[in-house]
Amino acid sequence: MASKTKTRVGLVAGGLGAYWPQFPDLLPQLQRSADRVSERMRELDAEIVDVGFISDAQEGAVAAEKLRAADCDLIVGFLTTYMTATMLVPIAQRSGAPVLLINLQPTESMDHATFDTGQWLAYCGACPLPEMANAFQRCGIPFRSVSGYLEDERAWARITSWVRAAGARAALRHGRHGLMGHLYPGMLDVSTDLTLVSANFGGHVEVLEFDDLRVRVEKVTDSEVAAKRAETEKIFELADSVNDTDLEWACRVSVGLDRLVEDFSLDSLAYYHRGLDGETHERLGAGMILGASLLTARGIPAAGEYELRTSLAMLIMDRMGAGGSFTELQALDFHRGHVEMGHDGPAHLAISARRPLLRGLGVYHGKRGWGVSVEFDVKHGPVTAFGIIQRRDGRFALVASEGETVDGPHLQIGNTTSRVDFGRDPGEWTDDWSATGMSHHWALGTGHRGAELKALAHLLEVEYIQI
């Protein structure tokens, strides 16, 4: 599964070899800068493939082959001083990975009174940047860059955004996304063309039957149910409304879901099944919230109502370290200026503001079946609402809005519910959010992730909209 791999970042530094005999102290200084960049890159929880320092087009070609073979998710080219475009264009062309160019001079500013030409050239990484942009664009290669200085935390925040975005892109490109059951009747916005997932993001959609889950649930042993129940009681607070029979069934379904995910090597799952008259498939569909929430907390997001694009949005948020909980609009609080959002389905337990509550429900609103459901609100502080649009022309687009989760009254109905303050009239926000073409589900994650999501859209070459 893609969820178990680190983001692989290729790193190459370079400068113009003609300078080295002219200024003997220059290359060692630039190599020290390159070592510092490599050190900082390794702090980003990524696998770094450092192919060293290149000085001409021939060495660039050797680096290109090494990076092509490394199958990187992102390549970072460090412009230490002036260098020609022909040193880096082949790397971008041959690797098949997106390239980020960074220009990080040694310090914030030169000492103009004492610097000679050789010392100035160590600050000259900005000089080739327009040349690279021109050459990349003329060669049909998307261009992106970060300029700053070696210990510039603003620049490193931007670099981190690109690395996280590359990790999310890799999760999509290599991911296996389960789609089980059928569309919730009438939800035209939720319907997703499966081919367009591969076309826009890559990866594979595995079409599953509810019988794939049924046969696995039927093989679950009582001891496995007991172990899952012990896990559940450790993680959740249990409300008095939790029926013992319903909890045991939810635990049995959860074990079956674990096997389903393992057997099909799934990185995400979207599901829905209506069922009739309490038969097995209806009971399976109604019994999935516990197991789906536990999977989501493990980094395998699961979304109800057959919401494939939202399960992908949850996957993206999870890989960015934001969690990502299944969400829709619930109400607008004009008195407090809050947008209330959440869902009665799977939730990301890792971003709960408190110990999550398991509540027993006699009915799931709008759905057949009954059982246990998860209740909490997302950690208070910065959050990002994020979803994926399928456009009329088949293109996908990413939509995000940054806000703050805040305190306030919550319904006690077995739903996740968060109060989000977007810093504006909640009605106007809702109108602008809806006008993007967003479906009625999305992911809610912790932190302000707009920069990372914008970077991801650039890497995927899809539209990005921020409300």
CA distances from 117 to 26, 104, 124, 141, 438 (A): 10, 18, 10, 33, 55
Give 420's strand partners.
Answer: 339, 405
Which pLDDT belongs to residue 343?
Answer: 78
Which pLDDT belongs to residue 1?
Answer: 43
Rounded Cα gap, residues 246 and 284, in angstroms:
11
pLDDT tens-digit series, residues 215-271: 999 999 999 999 999 999 998 888 888 888 889 999 999 999 999 999 999 999 999
Rounded Cα gap, residues 179 and 307, in angstroms:
9
Rounded Cα gap, residues 163 and 150, in angstroms:
17
Rounded Cα gap, residues 324 and 384, in angstroms:
9
**What are φ and ψ of residue 145, in 5° steps?**
-150, 160
Instruction: Tell whether 60 and 108 lie within a shared domain.
Output: yes
Q: Give the end of a domain, one of 141, 173, 205.
A: 173
Rounded Cα gap, residues 316 and 268, in angstroms:
10
Alpha-carbon dihedral sign for residues 345, 348, 349, 351: negative
CA dihedral of 58, 59, 61, 63, whole degrees rounded to 10: 180
Instruction: Tell whether 107 and 190 lie within a shared domain.
Output: no
Instruction: Tell whether 16 and 120 lie within a shared domain.
Output: yes
Q: What are the residues whose beta carbons fall under 8 Å from the beta carbon of 63, sequence distance 6 or more?
A: 12, 51, 52, 54, 91
Instruction: Tell whether 144 and 182 lie within a shared domain.
Output: no
Provide the CATH number for the domain around residue 161: 3.40.50.10940
Structure letter (DSSP) for residue 382? E
Instruction: Tell whether 153 and 298 lie within a shared domain.
Output: no
Average pLDDT over residues 100-105: 96
Q: Give the end of a domain, one of 121, 144, 173.
A: 173
SS3 248: helix
Nearest in space to 437 (alpha carbons), one of 461, 460, 467 = 467
Residues 358, 372 contacting (CB under 8 angstroms):
yes
Instruction: Tell whether 110 and 86 lie within a shared domain.
Output: yes
Rounded Cα gap, residues 262 and 188, in angstroms:
31
Residues 162, 134 contacting (CB under 8 angstroms):
no
Instruction: Tell whether 126 and 184 lie within a shared domain.
Output: no
Residue 116 — pLDDT band, cuts 50, 70, 90?
very high
Instruction: Tell whether 48 and 158 lie within a shared domain.
Output: yes
Instruction: Tell whether 306 and 421 lie within a shared domain.
Output: yes
Residue 365 — pLDDT band, cuts 50, 70, 90?
low
Rounded Cα gap, residues 197 and 367, in angstroms:
27
Nearest in space to 341 (alpha carbons), one of 248, 404, 392 = 404
Instruction: Tell whether 277 and 214 lie within a shared domain.
Output: yes
Average pLDDT over residues 26-44: 95
pLDDT tens-digit series, residues 142-197: 999 999 999 999 999 999 999 999 999 999 999 999 999 999 888 888 899 999 99
**What are φ and ψ of residue 271, in 5° steps?**
-150, 160
Lowest mean pLDDT among 89-93, 312-316, 395-399, 406-410: 406-410
Say if residue 35's pLDDT is above 90: yes
Supply the mean pLDDT for the chain.
91
Q: Give the end of a domain, one of 121, 146, 173.
A: 173
Provide the CATH number for the domain around residue 230: 3.20.14
Range of the domain at 145: 2-173
Tally of structural domains, the chain: 2
CA distances from 302 to 15, 18, 418 (A): 47, 56, 19
Residues 467, 436 contacting (CB under 8 angstroms):
yes
Instruction: Tell whether 94 and 192 lie within a shared domain.
Output: no
Which pLDDT belongs to residue 385?
Answer: 96
**What are φ and ψ of residue 331, in 5° steps?**
-170, 165
Instruction: Tell whether 158 and 182 lie within a shared domain.
Output: no
